[in-house]
Amino acid sequence: MIDVPTLVEQARAGRPRAVARLISLVENASPQLREVMAALAPYTGRAYTVGLTGSPGVGKSTSTSALVSAYRRLGKRVAVLAVDPSSPFSGGALLGDRVRMQDHATDPDVFIRSMATRGHLGGLSWAAPQALRVLDAAGCDVILVETVGVGQSEVEVAAQADTTVVLLAPGMGDGIQAAKAGILEIGDLFVVNKADRDGADATARELNHMLGLGEAREPGDWRQPIVKTVAAREEGIDELVDALEKHRAWLAETGELTVRRRRRAAAEIEAIALAALRSRIGDLRGDRHLDALAGRVAAGELDPYGAADELVSGLTDR
Amino acid sequence: MIDVPTLVEQARAGRPRAVARLISLVENASPQLREVMAALAPYTGRAYTVGLTGSPGVGKSTSTSALVSAYRRLGKRVAVLAVDPSSPFSGGALLGDRVRMQDHATDPDVFIRSMATRGHLGGLSWAAPQALRVLDAAGCDVILVETVGVGQSEVEVAAQADTTVVLLAPGMGDGIQAAKAGILEIGDLFVVNKADRDGADATARELNHMLGLGEAREPGDWRQPIVKTVAAREEGIDELVDALEKHRAWLAETGELTVRRRRRAAAEIEAIALAALRSRIGDLRGDRHLDALAGRVAAGELDPYGAADELVSGLTDR
């Protein structure tokens, strides 16, 4: 048994090892997670979370690293959570190996962690928000959530963040791809990275055009900005931070921040409730009540729906 | 609304259209499924179900078709259910196109149907057993369940059948593959098809060796037979039917049939119960109770586990 109160106290004091250990508990779906989350709850809700998403090759990790530098210059404590929904392997080696991230490896106010979510019940919906709670309670001012790998999981990551940044790069046909993937809807900010390359202006124009095709905006609505960057040279990154801070202020002023965080919390509660119910049903294997119901169904005395009703009605009394 | 009692009556009278329509209700997860299953329950439990599994290229559909012929010669009503867990498309075209299956297309005592299970809640565990109930109640004596496509779903299909037949073919390195895939454990009978090809004896020997490596058997235990066939020429098929009938008799005598059917019914009840609970949780989206819980979690007043507990405890009272 892990001494959760001590571990939480150490994490709150910013000790990287304690933070890492708590995230490992999340990753391994420890039975003590419940205790951990209860202990963390009062200290959550302060961090600003930014999700970064985009096709492979657009420069997500370079941009993430440049953002870390920029926020560090502003004196902020920063965490990077790289979520890989396609891999069951984890431990940070993946991120630690990246040259740019190593710039921050010795900075005590930067916490970098990769996390595998495959094999988790409910995938990302389950693990990522809990890891965010740990980083939040550990006093991180800004948490950058980056997906490693591709797919619809990107949309899920976006759903975990206060602000979602969609990255594009010139000459990848990304504009059209973005429209297809429904990525226009999830982006609060767009970045055209590698803006020193041919076609950057065309990509930005195309994107601008597509964003303009949406419905007419009300006054006070958020107008999604397009920021051009060359992340490898840290160009345009201060402008990106400005745009992020503007979005953050807009979220706070309009009450949208509360709306988003409640929506996230609701999804998290649902995921946990469903996992709990699934586990209770699993526990019934070999249970005499289920056995008896199965016997009646196998004998044709009862249909499986009627049996399921009986099973469910007995479930929450346990 | 469909007139379920009439449809069930027609299906019981062996009308192919009614049977097809009921299976479509299963496939489309019709809200009337509950009513259908309740109406069918008293007429289920008579059919003998045989699952056929094996790698692509071993001759599953040819063997299935040869088995249909053999059972027809014995005067049995036969159904073929080809389950494709990888495809959302269905309707029978896939099977109807196969030359061999067309031999049976005009036989009123043969019912052939393919079924897509992708996209179903809980996949196969949900849809296949209900389709089997329909075919069972429709008076089919033997139901052959064949997977189209590859993967772990094969093991699931096996779990739906009274008897599981694992097919191998020479020269595919199948023996070793089989051991890896845990297919030795699920096979009640093994078929080495294409037995006129080089290496058939070697495959049978290898398989025999591996089966012998298992634990010592008690008297009365089932000894898995290996049948050599050339399904394309219907060679060895009568021997396969003999072996199936022996296994069926063994299942009945030892009580194993009841055990297996109860286990299947229990899994089916679980799947339905879980789907019902998932749906109830989904219905809560926008519910004031969940909203209030999410608000408290977002504010750090409550942890998500505590909130999930409250959600679950209110769930079965609804």
- Tell me if B164 is assigned to some domain: yes
Task: Using DSSP, state whether B222 is helix, strand or coil.
Answer: coil
User: pLDDT at position B1, please?
Assistant: 81
Chain A contact present for B128, CB below 8 A: no
pLDDT band at A95 (very low <50, low <70, confident <90, very high): very low
Q: Give how far A262 is from chain B: nearest CA, Å.
A: 5
A256-287: pLDDT as tens digits = 999 999 988 988 888 888 888 877 777 777 77
Residues of chain B numbered 200-259 and touching chain A (CB < 8 Å): 258
CB-CB neighbors (< 8 A) of A303 in chain B: 34, 37-38, 40-41
- Say if the Cβ atoms of B266 and A44 lie within 8 Å: no
DSSP H helical ranges for chain B: 4-12, 16-27, 33-40, 60-73, 93-96, 99-102, 124-137, 153-160, 174-181, 183-186, 200-212, 237-254, 256-283, 288-298, 304-313
Chain B contact present for A1, CB below 8 A: no
- Say if the Cβ atoms of A265 and B301 lie within 8 Å: no
User: pLDDT at position B90, please?
Assistant: 45
Q: Is the pLDDT of residue B245 over 90?
A: yes
CB-CB neighbors (< 8 A) of B263 in chain A: 294
More confident: B100 or A170: A170
Q: Is the pLDDT of residue B217 over 80?
A: no
- Tell me if B290 is assigned to some domain: no
User: pLDDT at position B155, please?
Assistant: 62
Secondary structure letter of residue B235 according to DSSP: B
User: pLDDT at position A123, please?
Assistant: 47
- Tell me if B289 is assigned to some domain: no
Q: Is the pLDDT of residue A12 over 70?
A: yes
pLDDT band at B121 (very low <50, low <70, confident <90, very high): very low
- Say if the Cβ atoms of B304 and A274 lie within 8 Å: no
Residues of chain A numbered 32-71 and touching chain B (CB < 8 Å): 33-34, 37-38, 40-45
pLDDT band at B176 (very low <50, low <70, confident <90, very high): low
Count other Cβ atoms within 10 Å, centred on residue A107: 14
- Say if the Cβ atoms of A274 and B278 lie within 8 Å: yes
Place of tokens 């745009």: A243
CB-CB neighbors (< 8 A) of A313 in chain B: 316
**Range scoring the smallest mean pLDDT among A6-20, A270-284, B292-306:** A270-284
Which of B43, B270, B280, B293 to mutate: most A Cβ within 10 Å?
B270
Q: Is the pLDDT of residue B15 over 70?
A: yes
Average pLDDT for B59-81: 94
CATH code of the domain covering residue A202: 3.40.50.300
pLDDT band at A252 (very low <50, low <70, confident <90, very high): very high
H/E stretch holding A111 reads strand A110-116
Average pLDDT for A10-18: 92
- Tell me if A221 is assigned to some domain: yes
- Tell me if B59 is assigned to some domain: yes
**Range scoring the smallest mean pLDDT among A105-109, A159-163, A235-239:** A105-109
User: pLDDT at position A132, please?
Assistant: 93
- Say if the Cβ atoms of B266 and A293 lie within 8 Å: yes
More confident: A85 or B39: B39
Nearest to B272 among A33, A305, A313 (CB): A305
User: pLDDT at position A216, please?
Assistant: 62
Q: Is the pLDDT of residue A220 over 70?
A: yes
CA distance B236 to B242: 10
Q: CB contacts < 8 Å between A and B, how many?
A: 164
Give me the percent of chain A exceeding a pLDDT of 90: 44
Chain A contact present for B301, CB below 8 A: yes
User: pLDDT at position A152, please?
Assistant: 52
- Tell me if A7 is assigned to some domain: no
User: pLDDT at position A58, please?
Assistant: 87
Q: Identify the domain containing residue A146 by its residue range.
A: 43-254
C-alpha distances out from residue A46 to A24, A143, A145, Å:
22, 11, 16
- Tell me if B275 is assigned to some domain: no
More confident: B274 or A229: A229
**Range scoring the smallest mean pLDDT among A75-89, A102-116, A148-162, B205-219:** A148-162
- Nearest chain A residue to B290, by CA: A266
- Say if the Cβ atoms of A265 and B315 lie within 8 Å: no
Lookup: tokens for B133: 């109930």
- Say if the Cβ atoms of B263 and A294 lie within 8 Å: yes
Chain A contact present for B270, CB below 8 A: yes
Quote the ipTM score.
0.78
**Range scoring the smallest mean pLDDT among A26-40, A268-282, B20-34:** A268-282
C-alpha distances out from residue B127 to A86, B83, B123, Å:
27, 9, 7
- Nearest chain B residue to A263, by CA: B294
B227-244: pLDDT as tens digits = 999 999 999 999 999 999
Average pLDDT for B120-130: 63
User: pLDDT at position B240, please?
Assistant: 98
**Cβ proximity of B145 and B34 under 8 Å:** no
User: pLDDT at position B93, please?
Assistant: 39
Q: Is the pLDDT of residue A27 over 70?
A: yes
Mean pLDDT for all residues in chain A: 83
**Range scoring the smallest mean pLDDT among A85-89, A171-175, A289-293, B255-259:** A85-89
Secondary structure letter of residue A230 according to DSSP: B
Nearest to B261 among A42, A298, A307 (CB): A298
C-alpha distances out from residue A6 to A43, A65, A209, B275, B283, Å:
15, 31, 53, 40, 39
The domain total for chain A is: 1
- Nearest chain A residue to B315, by CA: A316
- Tell me if B268 is assigned to some domain: no
Chain B contact present for A12, CB below 8 A: no
CA distance B89 to B119: 10
CA distance A191 to A250: 19
Nearest to B281 among A270, A295, A309 (CB): A270
Q: Give how far B236 is from chain A: nearest CA, Å.
A: 33
Mean pLDDT for all residues in chain B: 83
Average pLDDT for A194-212: 88
Q: Is the pLDDT of residue A179 over 70?
A: no
- Say if the Cβ atoms of A273 and B312 lie within 8 Å: yes
Q: Is the pLDDT of residue B91 over 50?
A: no
Q: Left (φ > 0), alpha (ψ -120 to 50) or beta: where does A29 sit?
A: left
